[in-house]
Structure 1
Amino acid sequence: MGFVIRWVCALILLAATYNPTDWNYVAWARSTYETNLSMVVMIGLVLLVGYIVYLRATFRSIGLFGMILILAVVATFLWVLFDQGLISLDDPTVNTWIAIFALSVVLAVGLSWSIVRRRLTGQADVDDVDE
């Protein structure tokens, strides 16, 4: 259940930043930055904090190679779905949602990897601590 929560939070973060509808930060910021710059900056910083948390944890747990590997697995899964005729890639709106889904899976795996690794191997990850 913990992975699902991390994945949903990553999906919300990515979709709140940009999605093909008008309900996203990028569209809202473009339309209101002249009249409401302080809110645009504040919400942008809140989103930035979310990205920093996810990206820092992901880079520390699986690194760039792990991110590319997870993205390759997700892309191959999508390729199988396309090859079997279960999804179509003709609609740019659907493609955007697929990209948001794929990136959210990468971020969720990165945030959850230390927990999964500890359960599989019994080894705990320890951050460098200066004392």
Structure 2
Amino acid sequence: MGFIIRWVFALILLAATYNPTKWNYVSWSRANADTNLSIVVLLGLVLLVGYIVYLRATLRSIGIFGMVLILALVGTVLWVLFDQGLISLDDPSVNTWIAIFALSVVLAIGLSWSIVRRRLSGQADVDDIDE
């Protein structure tokens, strides 16, 4: 259940930033930067904090190589679904949602990996402390 919650929040973070509808931060900020600049900056910083939390945890737990590997795995699953005729890539908005989904899976796995590793191996991750 914990992984699902982390994935949903990653999906919300990515979709709130950009999606093919008009309900996203990028479109809204372009339309309202002249009249509501302070709110645009505030919401941009809130999104930035969310990205920092997810990316920092992901980079610390699986690293760049792990992120690329998981993205390759998700991409290969999508390729199989396309080859089997289960999904179509003709619609650009569907492609955007697929990319948002793939990136949210990478972020959710990155945020959850330390927990999975601890359960599988019995070893806890310890942060480095500078002294």
TM-score, reference length from structure 1: 0.99
Give 1:119's aligned residue. Answer: 119
Matched letter for residue 97 of structure 1: W
Confirm or deny that 1:67 pairs with 2:71. Answer: no
1:129 to partner: Cα distance: 2.0
For 2:41, give the aligned amino acid: V
2:87 aligned with 1:76? no
Matching residue of 1:128: 128
CA distance in 2, matches of 1:77, 1:124: 30
The amino acid across from 1:57 in the alignment is A
Partner of 1:95: 95
How many residues are matched?
131
State the match for 2:46 in structure 1. Answer: 46
1:28 counterpart letter in structure 2: W
Partner letter of residue 69 of structure 1? Answer: L
> Over aligned residue pairs, what C-alpha RMSD do you find?
0.6
Q: Which residue of 1 aligns with 2:33?
A: 33
Aligned equivalents of 1:105 and 1:11: distance in 2? 8
**Residue type matched to 1:12 in 2?**
I
The one-letter amino acid of 2:40's match is V
1:130 deviation in Å? 3.6
Unaligned runs of 5+ in 1: none
Runs (4+) of structure 1 moved beyond 3 Å? Answer: none
Distance in 2 (alpha carbons) for counterparts of 1:130 and 1:102: 35
CA displacement, residues 70-122 of structure 1 (integer Å, 9 cap, x when unaligned)? 00000000001001100000000000000000000000000000000000000
